[in-house]
Amino acid sequence: MPFVTTADGSRIHYKDWGEGRAVVLSHGWPLDADSWEAQQLLLAGHGYRAIAHDRRGHGRSEQPWHGNEMDTYADDLATLLDTLDLRDVTLVGFSTGGGEVVRYIGRHGTARVAQLVLVSAVPPFMLLTDDNPGGVPGAVFDSIRAGSLADRSQLYRDLADGPFFGNNRPGASVSQGVRDAFWAQGLRAGHRAAYECVAAFSATDFRGDLDAVDVPTLVIHGDDDQVVPFEVGGKASAARVKGAELVVYPGAPHGITDTHKEQLGADLLRFLNSF
């Protein structure tokens, strides 16, 4: 399996499919690169080089004790782009991965980046604070951390069976296979990495990073997202990035990479082909 080695010696696994202009996909919590397989297969089949990596502590990447926060995640992504010498890249971030890609731009600029796509992404800032009155109360994330410590496996079952894919909504029918894949990927992540990543995606302020975005940007978000509420995430991010295109999926949940994969694939190809 291919790996790149980061500044602190951690090995980061990546999947590299197809040939052409590079699209680099950053996954959500507590998942790994396998969560992008539908999109990788589609993009590679349409003339793009689709690359997805396992974030440190997740999937097949190494599980160092330190570095489970956004600055290091972004620097690890920079190592991937630099090692593979990728240029004119489209960065695509889902959920936590959306934070990773905008923090990359905030720290490393857009010299290698041609386009940005945020899918159900956590920026600009999820946490309720005095200067972010529309955010999510900290007790919500405290509950996730408590669930992780008490019974991590059951926490992932509950998320997959309920809010992540919207399977708790009337008439929803998300396959057992999709839900099991979420659970299995979550348990591949290291316990400390997954626990600390809750703070990384919830308490990191990405507003300054979004202000640094100077490339064409597509924001995609479901308006029934129970994990990253639309008003907190996609709507606010699109308003902050000059010229960003906002595409709203009516009634869609958080995990649209699975539940709306055909629609998402079409939107990705349309945006990519516009470059």
pLDDT, tens digit (0-9, with 9 covering 90-100), for 116-161? 999 999 999 999 999 999 999 999 999 999 999 999 999 999 999 9
Q: Which two tokens stand for residue 195?
A: 């626990």
Residues 48-67, mean pLDDT to the nearest whole number = 98
Where do runs of H (alpha helix) occur along 17-134?
37-45, 70-83, 96-108
Split at pLDDT 50, 70, 90, the class of 32 is: very high
CATH code for the domain of 35: 3.40.50.1820
User: What does the pLDDT read at residue 249?
Assistant: 98
Q: Which of 104, 83, 108, 75 is nearest to 92 (CA)?
A: 104
Instruction: Flag whether pLDDT at 110 surpasses 90.
Output: yes
Residues 75-85, mean pLDDT to the nearest whole number = 98
Supply the residues annotated as catalytic.
Answer: 95, 225, 254
Q: Which of 98, 89, 42 is nearest to 275 (CA)?
A: 89
Domains: count for the chain: 1
Q: Which of 138, 130, 118 is nearest to 235 (CA)?
A: 118
Q: Which residues, 6+ apart, have CB-to-CB distance to 55 below 8 Å?
A: 12, 26, 27, 32, 61, 73, 76, 96, 97, 100, 193, 197
Provide the mean pLDDT of the chain.
98
Domain ranges, residue 122: 3-273
Cα atoms in the Cβ-side hemisphere of radius 13 Å centred on 127: 16
d(CA 5, CA 228): 31
Instruction: Flag whether pLDDT at 1 surpasses 90.
Output: no
Instruction: Flag whether pLDDT at 193 surpasses 90.
Output: yes
Residues 221-246, mean pLDDT to the nearest whole number = 98
Residues 46-57, mean pLDDT to the nearest whole number = 98
> What residue has token string 């951690």?
10
Instruction: Flag whether pLDDT at 185 surpasses 90.
Output: yes
The rounded percent of the chain whose pLDDT value lies above 70 is 100
